[in-house]
Structure 1
Amino acid sequence: RHTAGAHAVARGVALEVVQQQFGHASLDTTSMYVLAA
């Protein structure tokens, strides 16, 4: 999940879209996944 999120953001997908795809209630949670990759 970390890699998929990071790659999506690197391709220009909005963090909010990744948040919805991952099913996260908080954008902070999504940010942790993306930044950890």
Structure 2
Amino acid sequence: MIEPEVSLMDLDKLTILIEQCVKHAIYYLFDYAKPELEW
């Protein structure tokens, strides 16, 4: 049987992972676009 607390913890971990992925993607896009903007 799965307890609600465990699923909530998993949801928090998943949310943190998604936020980290989004931040990394944004930083990567900015670093990738910077040279083109400086041209």
- TM-score scaled by length of structure 1: 0.31
- Higher RCO (CA-CA < 8 Å; seq separation 6+): 1
Larger radius of gyration: 2
Higher helix content, 1 or 2? 2
